[in-house]
Structure 1
Amino acid sequence: MNNVGQHLMSGALSGFMSTICLQPLDLLKTRLQQGEGGRSRGTRSLVRTTREIVASKGVLGLWRGTSASLIRNVPGIACYLTGLNHVRTLMATSPYFAAVQTHPPNHDPTKHASVLPTLTVYGNLIAGATTRVSVGFILNPFTVLKARYESNMYAYGSVASSLGEIVRGGPRELFRGFSASALRDAPYSGLFVVFYETIKRESRRILEPESQGAVAALHSGSAAAAGMVATLATHPFDVVKTKIQVRTEDRYHGLLRTVHTIWKQRGVSGFFDGASLRLSRKVLSSAIGWAVYESVLVFVRAQENQQRRLHSE
């Protein structure tokens, strides 16, 4: 399997696993963010919303929108991680962005923590931000579909008919909420990659992992910590994005108008609706996703190296 195929396969598996496991958190977050008015949306609202869904749709109702999420997340995460690796590989050839390597001459990355390119802090920040926004732009119609499927404000029958309805709405509907998504995704991904690589590097200096399990644990813990920091820094834009994509009132048309509406109705607290759910979801999805992604790559590369050694003997 070529390099691109390895990253696409690893990224798709990462997206599939995290989506299936964590869809209820996404669903509940969207339900909390779609409302308006002055009512607080804390733990009581979360419990009430969960009970309402289970009472009307059963436990499986918490997985509503999974098909739409898979359509968005599996190719989205696969393309993002593959694109991120490609961008980082190109940037690693530049003396402005390539990090100085301190590995010994006989260092074998497949026996250690990562097979991904190593960049400076600025390189990781730029690579993460540009790649995430580019993929987000291409897949924004599916992001709108996902948000509306998770909401209870749309009586969609099937994924195909729902997507057709959005397409018929033209570019305005297809790219609804993209500006808010970009303002969320650029800093989120940039900060995530910076913190992920920094935490992973510093952890490896303290204790170099020697087994596949230790490598997976390193990736998982580093991604979880990075996801926490990046999520808290960008959550207000996630609230704005959801409002724009699921609400149809004029006061939610446009980024600045939506920000003004949320501020007028709820103040600062309105920009943190569903924060605990998104934080939980991002921490867990990052831990699962990057552990799967990097561990699969390390395993595949190790198998390829072993086959090459056997053929050369």
Structure 2
Amino acid sequence: MGHDHGPYESIESDNMAVHVFSGAMAGYAEYIIMYPIDTVKTRMQSISFEGKRSLFGVLKKMVIEEGVLSPIRGLTIVVAASGPAHGVYYAGYEFVKRNMKSLTWTPDVLSHGAAGCVATVLHDAVVNPSEVVKQRMQMEKSPCKTVVQCIRDIYRTEGFRAFYKSFATTLLMNIPFQSLHFIVYEFSQDFLNLKREYNPKSHVISGGMAGGVAAAATNPFDVCRTLINTQESKEAVGLLKAIEIVYRRTGMRGFFSGVSARVLHLAPSTAICWSIYEFFKYFLDEHKPHRDGK
């Protein structure tokens, strides 16, 4: 049975425009603030990574050897895609969650998980090409100097299919990630914010917990996706082949490469994302005209 979440969520639940706009703002904030850590994570997941440096050691080396702007290389393409992607992501999540909760037999964990699956497919369909370009530019000694050049080179040498080569692997990673992420977030809210009011502290804590737990659990998929996107090995044409290559070259520990960077990236990222999203939902609702015209 679904919970009665009080006026804040029920007023908002049918306003898809608010969800789209709030989600877009959340996506912009998340990527812009946390992008350097994402770059470090990509480096650490590389099969050629030495494995002797810490997260901050890698970041320091990048700045010294490649310039102060090296950690944000590729940011523009991600920012361009993140707004629309997060907009449809949150709108899809709210739509499915609301409609499944209207069915009295649907347990919350099922509605949250199903909504997370739908949101993931919508988000990844929009953002996957930008992730390919981004990760090519994030690699050490990347030949890609600009976003336009990178897109052109990928298309010329590998064709349009290259932009979606990792899509299936991304979905296999992100569906459990996002489902677990939403379940943990909503479960945490049941304890910290049962009335589902605007409560910044609860949104930060719940978002951080959700992102951290889901990030650690799905890191092996992310390692494989990075290999497919960056094409460090041309053999990596799909998930099974990527698993084989990672295991052959680095053993089981390779699947947990960059896990600390991934958790450090996604825990605050999801905390930021939920905080911005919930703020704009609350703000826009507070300033929208009431139905009675008052």
Query: Residue in 2 aligned with 1:104?
Result: none
Cα separation, 1, equivalents of 2:196 and 2:238: 48
Instruction: State, as a whole percentage, how many aligned pairs show the same letter.
Output: 29
* CA deviation after TM superposition for structure 1 residue 47, in Å: 4.5
Supply the AA of the counterpart residue of 1:85.
E
Cα separation, 2, equivalents of 1:154 and 1:74: 26
For the residue of structure 2 that corresponds to 1:67, the secondary structure is helix
Q: 1:276 and 1:96, CA in 2 relative to 1: closer, same or farther beyond 3 A?
A: same
* CA deviation after TM superposition for structure 1 residue 134, in Å: 3.4
Q: How does 1:1-313 map to 2 (within 5 A)?
A: 3-36=15-48, 39=50, 41=51, 44-97=53-106, 120-168=108-156, 169-205=158-194, 215-304=199-288, 307-308=289-290, 311-312=293-294
Query: Residue in 2 aligned with 1:102?
Result: none
Q: 1:94 and 1:259, CA in 2 relative to 1: closer, same or farther beyond 3 A?
A: same
Moved more, 72-81 or 263-272: 72-81
Supply the AA of the counterpart residue of 1:183.
L
For the residue of structure 2 that corresponds to 1:156, the secondary structure is coil
For the residue of structure 1 that corresponds to 2:48, the secondary structure is coil
Question: Whose Rg is larger?
Answer: 1
Supply the AA of the counterpart residue of 2:26.
S
Check conservation: 1:36, 1:265, Cα contact below 8 A.
no
1:191-242 Cα distance to aligned partner (Å, 9 max, x none): 111110011012124xx687x5xx1111111111111111111010000000
1:249-268 Cα distance to aligned partner (Å, 9 max, x none): 33322211211111122211
1:273-292 Cα distance to aligned partner (Å, 9 max, x none): 11111101110011111011
Check conservation: 1:27, 1:65, Cα contact below 8 A.
no
Cα separation, 1, equivalents of 2:67 and 2:149: 24
Gaps in structure 2 of 5+ consecutive residues: 1-13
Q: 1:139 and 1:23, CA in 2 relative to 1: closer, same or farther beyond 3 A?
A: closer
Check conservation: 2:189, 2:196, Cα contact below 8 A.
no
Query: Residue in 2 aligned with 1:109?
Result: none
**TM-score normalised by structure 2 residue count:** 0.87
Check conservation: 1:11, 1:74, Cα contact below 8 A.
yes
1:73-124 Cα distance to aligned partner (Å, 9 max, x none): 2222222112211222332333343x6xxxxxxxxxxxxxxxxxxxx10111
Q: 1:173 and 1:258, CA in 2 relative to 1: closer, same or farther beyond 3 A?
A: same
Cα separation, 2, equivalents of 1:179 and 1:153: 27
Query: Cα RMSD between the aligned structures?
Result: 2.4
For the residue of structure 2 that corresponds to 1:249, the secondary structure is coil
Check conservation: 1:34, 1:247, Cα contact below 8 A.
no
Cα separation, 2, equivalents of 1:162 and 1:58: 19
Check conservation: 2:92, 2:118, Cα contact below 8 A.
no
Supply the AA of the counterpart residue of 1:154.
S
* CA deviation after TM superposition for structure 1 residue 179, in Å: 2.1
Check conservation: 1:30, 1:147, Cα contact below 8 A.
yes
Query: Residue in 2 aligned with 1:114?
Result: none
Cα separation, 2, equivalents of 1:166 and 1:232: 30
Cα separation, 1, equivalents of 2:26 and 2:134: 18
Moved more, 62-71 or 225-234: 62-71
Instruction: Report the count of equivalent residues.
Output: 281
For the residue of structure 2 that corresponds to 1:139, the secondary structure is helix
Cα separation, 2, equivalents of 1:47 and 1:281: 12
* CA deviation after TM superposition for structure 1 residue 153, in Å: 4.6
The runs of 4+ residues in structure 1 deviating greater than 6 Å are none
**TM-score normalised by structure 1 residue count:** 0.82
